[in-house]
Homo-oligomer: A and B are copies of this chain.
């Protein structure tokens, strides 16, 4: 490919609407162009990167006995009604009607389509296990698309679905898929991706893992134990809090706390430690706005995901009105109106000598004893694990919190979809059973962005050889010089004939422009033919990351470069 014909503009200035580096560099480098909010077109360099990523995924899915299929982008609403998700998923699911007023949806994930495709086929235990996958466009009407390809509305995803006759078989396959994912990220140049236990959310099922690239730009918070191998998404990480009681319980006493509405203010005013306070966090049920009050230790934060999973319905932070019966800023567990749902976090279980709201404007209690004063409370884990928290695995207070970009996820789905959609098989004994599913997803564009995020400098991406748009960036500096031009043309043709992917810059531009364009394209090896080099009868070979530099003699540059490319290829 000749660079002078490469469609797409490259430029120097960081676009003001790009918050993260990978987005800025991909816009600056002519990789992508916005079409609508969270919807992009790709130019050739990005298309080449994503096709290579897709091919790696395909090979690894085939290696774990996956069968490539394809499901439609547009599906009938009836399929999603069968699974129950037509009603349970919110506005992210795009719903529309066709010319005959048949309701349709745009696929944001394909569990329903997968079950529909195989439920006739999978009627005997002898057909199991099997796994089908596709690489296909999906659309999810995100409220807040952001960060370029990290969170978009339209995206290409590799999604895989496995079907099993037993939980043991699923677990075995799940482990294979986990290893397959590790290989995919390693082959894409991201061996640093870690897997973390995660919450299964709307997907159903219990066990699931997210694959995370640790990065400050990540939307997810991950709890990592510094003492053992425990790693979990903060949404899923169990919070362990020691609940020591004082030996003697004081009396429950109401105190005047004028204007003290936050837990910080109250504790300062009462000279109490926040660890000895109870705060109320108020939510409402999405369906009918009924109030939900969570009582939790004053210094901890509520984990909405745990609340949602416990309650079994969707919630949102509350709007506390004057006439709702709740006393904003002064809510406490004693004397609360009876028409609200109350949750108690483990962190206040059996504690005494606490301060809390008195359900009366400008008043708090001190001397609260949960066991004595709120006798019938049930305690569960509703808190976010915190920096320095106790590791649920090794028990040491060694948790640190990092940000991460989720680049893949795997779920043990169980029978949520097969049950709701009536898929069964006959087992060895002639009994009807419900197959157990797993599902496994990676977003292609997000992975490309994550690779760029992990591997770039100020001047552009530094693509690993395995996913780079081209393998060699050949620069003919001063191509107006006939000798330079002829030599570079021949080298270009010879490298291409050897099957090496070359982007060839023979424009009449300065070396500066040439090199900054090369930086933006991020090709791992740069080969420079220039008057200075020709004078020394050498060709310069430099790696994009500057870790490698070699002058090779002009007369056997071809063989040397082929060797260097092979060497770089073997590194991933």
Q: Tell me, rounded to whole Å, the shortest Cβ–Cβ distance linking A439 to chain B.
A: 16
Taking Cβ atoms with an 8 Å cutoff, the residues of A that contact B are: 1, 5-9, 30, 33, 35-37, 39-44, 47-48, 51, 65, 67-76, 79, 91, 94, 96, 98-99, 102, 104, 106, 113, 116-118, 120-121, 127, 130, 132, 134, 136-137, 139, 141, 143, 153-154
Q: Tell me, rounded to whole Å, the shortest Cβ–Cβ distance linking A114 to chain B.
A: 9
Q: Given A73-B137, A74-B139, do A33 and B65 touch, yes or no (CB 8 Å)?
A: no
Partner of A91, one of B41, B47, B99, B141: B99
Contacts of A67 in B (CB 8 A): 1, 6-7, 43-44
Whether B104 and A98, one on each chain, are in contact in the complex, defined by CB atoms closer than 8 angstroms, is no
Contacts of A134 in B (CB 8 A): 47
In the assembly, what is the distance between CA of A116 and CA of B106, in Å?
A: 24
Q: Given A94-B96, A96-B94, A98-B94, do A39 and B75 touch, yes or no (CB 8 Å)?
A: yes
Whether B47 and A68, one on each chain, are in contact in the complex, defined by CB atoms closer than 8 angstroms, is yes
In the assembly, what is the distance between CA of A6 and CA of B126, in Å?
A: 12
This chain's copy number in the assembly: 2
Instruction: Tell me the dominant secondary structure on chain A's binding face.
Output: mixed
Whether B68 and A41, one on each chain, are in contact in the complex, defined by CB atoms closer than 8 angstroms, is no
Q: Contacts A6-B67, A74-B106 given; 4 further ones with Cβ under 8 A?
A: A35-B116, A37-B102, A39-B72, A94-B98
In the assembly, what is the distance between CA of A498 and CA of B102, in Å?
A: 50
Q: Given A94-B96, A98-B94, A117-B33, do A42 and B65 touch, yes or no (CB 8 Å)?
A: no
Nearest residue in B to A40 (C-beta to C-beta)? B72
Q: Given A75-B35, A121-B7, A121-B8, do A69 and B91 touch, yes or no (CB 8 Å)?
A: no
In the assembly, what is the distance between CA of A434 and CA of B73, in Å?
A: 35
Contacts of A35 in B (CB 8 A): 71-72, 75-76, 79, 113, 116
Q: Given A74-B106, A74-B139, A102-B36, do A41 and B7 touch, yes or no (CB 8 Å)?
A: no
In the assembly, what is the distance between CA of A102 and CA of B51, in Å?
A: 31
Contacts of A71 in B (CB 8 A): 35, 41
Whether B36 and A121, one on each chain, are in contact in the complex, defined by CB atoms closer than 8 angstroms, is no
Partner of A136, one of B68, B91, B116, B137: B137
Q: Tell me, rounded to whole Å, the shortest Cβ–Cβ distance linking A429 to chain B.
A: 21
What are 5 A-B pairs at a CB distance below 8 A? A6-B67, A9-B121, A36-B74, A36-B75, A42-B69
In the assembly, what is the distance between CA of A6 and CA of B143, in Å?
A: 40
Nearest residue in B to A76 (C-beta to C-beta)? B36
In the assembly, what is the distance between CA of A71 and CA of B154, in Å?
A: 10
